[in-house]
Amino acid sequence: MPDIFKSKNSGKKLRVALTGNPNVGKTSLFNALTGSRQHVGNWPGVTVEKKTGTLKHEGFEIEVIDLPGTYSLTAYSPDEIVARDYIIEEKPDVVIQVLDATNLERNLYLTTQLLELGAQVLIALNMTDLAEERGDSIDIQKMEEFLEVPVVKTVAREEKGIPALLDAVLRTAGKEHVHKIGYGNALESKIGEIMTLLSEDTGLKAAYPLRWLSVKLLEGDENAFGKIKGRPVESKVRKLLDSEDMAFFEAEMADQRYETISCLTALISKKPERVLEPSDLIDRVLTSKKLGIPIFLALMWGAFDVTFTFGTPFMNIIDSFFGWLSGVVSTNVSNPWLSSFLGDGIIGGVGSVILFLPNILLLFLMLSILEDSGYLARAAFVMDRLMYSIGLQGKASIPMLMGFGCTVPAIMATRTLESPRDRLLTILVTPFMSCGARMPVYVVLAGTFFGESAGSVIFAIYILGIMVAIFSAKLLGSTVLKGEVSPFIMELPPYRLPSPKTSLLHMWENGSMYLKKAGTIILAGVVLVWLAASLPVGVEYGSESSLIGSLGHFLEPLVAPLGFDWKVAVALVFGFVAKEVVIGSLGVLYGAGEDESAIMAGMQADPALDPVIAFGLMVFTLLYVPCVATVGVIKKETGSWKWTLFSAAYGTTLAWIFAFLIYQGSRILGWT
């Protein structure tokens, strides 16, 4: 009978947490175990929050929790705290540490901390194929003896070693085993003193492994101090540690852990004489001082060029389909209200958004290929020098690059930034990176007013977004968010040929989110626009005397200095629901429905619009308050209404100033 029956969660259910350094194949293992299709990326920080899945093995129902990747269990970044707190507070039956066999030394640091935590650890020695390919050999038996935990070889990408790992889970669950790393007499005596104090508190004793908590307190871990805050022992512990140099203790303990690790690696692993890897050589070029940034810009241009040009014929196909559908509705539905609701509202509004699905899918495919190849991590490295000069660290460039796809996951990805200041600053500037949802607005406006130069104008808008993000980071970083930039430490993953399956899957995951949005929030938005354009009853659809017209006229004075009329004001208001709705609303207001060429013709014929105003509108759409989903995630990630409102107000103010300068400047110069 497996030891599981001695487990706290005895019965047929088990909870298993997956932990490990970033980019060691945790998400691949999670997918292999649970059969899910979570996104696997080739850069650190893919898992930014816990993901769960279940499986059955030998009659047991096993719940698997994929924790964010961490290098250690200190509390320097939010994802480290998420991982650590889960293991301490939730006490999973087994903690599987996914360990990269090609990088034992660095990965084992986390192992030492997991063992100290008193967790029931099981090691999945992953990427053993890559280690063997380069001639490394690891003695699994010696490793198990030294660490006193089971070690199972896996190749998660190919789903190898999974049954053996699951058998080991059943053997490990419920086993009580205390692991201890000796820190030398002086430190051990201090640890002992703190443990004695902590053991007076029965609540603490029940909740946390006291040796671990004592070690953390001795290291000056703020999160650990939070756990004793307000308890009677707090003052005693603080008094004991007041006169001590905790930074010294932290460094000493890290040294001891590394000493243990070097003893272990010397004992268990043999490596051939190392030659330069292809990845190292490619990095000489892609991360070089002179060519790194130009190559990055050229690759980004390539990605955008494919997105915009290759997607056009597919857009035309969708356009024709919705045109046909609209015709079918208008000929077959005799009730004018229903016909208008279906034709102008649903088909017109949603159709004008789905039209851009090919571009969105291509954009995500391009980002996915760059990410899966390992290049995105290099882009962060290359950008570090530039980012540092604007008061951010290179790692901030990854969420910013992801922002070209969708701002919501991009803002969640800021969790990989250790410093709260860097994180907040990145959250505030990421919405300026032009997301895929804004693209329909640019395509229609640039296509209408800039003819053959449309591509260059759209590219200029993207560049402007980057420039505004840089300017804002510099401005906010030197005023409201003053502080030192934290050092840039990031693992560069090996280059890999992107697998078509993974890249297409990633593209579809994001693309289907866009489709889902079109069927829910955007549909609701366009129905709202249609209602406002049709009421009060009897009014001409979308006319100035409709509800939407009144709203537009009410707002018009605010945007008149930018050259925008009431129709644009209304479209911008509804754009808060989702940016795509800007075009859907204009379609309704110009009575053009989903027909892109009819929207373009309507705008071209409108004397209130010209190339300058259109450019101002594109810039306004780029910079003003992000969509409601983004605002929600900013609130969630900052935990502050103050910063959420600041983000919305700052963006909208900048948008107004830029559009004002464009319009009024052009007027003075006689361009409009």
Would you tell me which residues interact with another protein (CB under 8 A)?
130, 133-134, 275-279, 281-282, 284-286, 288, 290-291, 294-295, 297-299, 301-302, 305-306, 309-313, 316-317, 320, 456, 459, 494-497
Nearest residue (CB) to another protein, 103 versus 652:
103
Minimal distance, residue 320 CB to another protein, in Å: 8
Q: For the chain, how many residues are written?
A: 672
Q: Report the C-alpha gap between 339 and 328 in whole angstroms.
A: 10
Nearest to 574 by CA among 343, 345, 330: 345
User: What 8-state DSSP symbol labels residue 122?
Assistant: E
Minimal distance, residue 278 CB to another protein, in Å: 5
Q: Report the C-alpha gap between 453 and 455 in whole angstroms.
A: 6
Nearest residue (CB) to another protein, 134 versus 177:
134
Query: What type of residue sits at position 233?
Result: V
3-class DSSP assignment, residue 72? coil
Q: 64 has which bridge partners?
A: 16, 53
Minimal distance, residue 530 CB to another protein, in Å: 30
Nearest residue (CB) to another protein, 262 versus 499:
499
First to last CA, the chain: 83
Minimal distance, residue 613 CB to another protein, in Å: 24
Q: Report the C-alpha gap between 417 and 425 in whole angstroms.
A: 10
Contacts of 668 (CB under 8 A, 6+ apart): none
Strands (E), 479-629: none
In degrees rounded to 5, what are phi and psi of residue 52? -125, 155
Nearest residue (CB) to another protein, 309 versus 389:
309
Minimal distance, residue 267 CB to another protein, in Å: 25
Minimal distance, residue 460 CB to another protein, in Å: 10
Find out whether 45 and 154 touch, Cβ atoms under 8 Å.
no
User: What 8-state DSSP symbol labels residue 575?
Assistant: T
Nearest residue (CB) to another protein, 250 versus 491:
491
In degrees rounded to 5, what are phi and psi of residue 405? -85, -70
Minimal distance, residue 407 CB to another protein, in Å: 25
Minimal distance, residue 509 CB to another protein, in Å: 22
Minimal distance, residue 316 CB to another protein, in Å: 5
Nearest residue (CB) to another protein, 145 versus 277:
277
Element (H or E) spanning 470, and its range?
helix 454-477
Contacts of 390 (CB under 8 A, 6+ apart): 470, 473, 474, 477
Cα 536 off chain centre by: 44
Minimal distance, residue 348 CB to another protein, in Å: 22
Nearest residue (CB) to another protein, 285 versus 489:
285
Nearest residue (CB) to another protein, 223 versus 597:
597
Nearest residue (CB) to another protein, 162 versus 295:
295
CA 118, 82, 14: angle at the middle one, nearest 5?
55
Contacts of 598 (CB under 8 A, 6+ apart): 587, 590, 592
- Token representation of residue 139: 């003695």
Nearest residue (CB) to another protein, 291 versus 466:
291
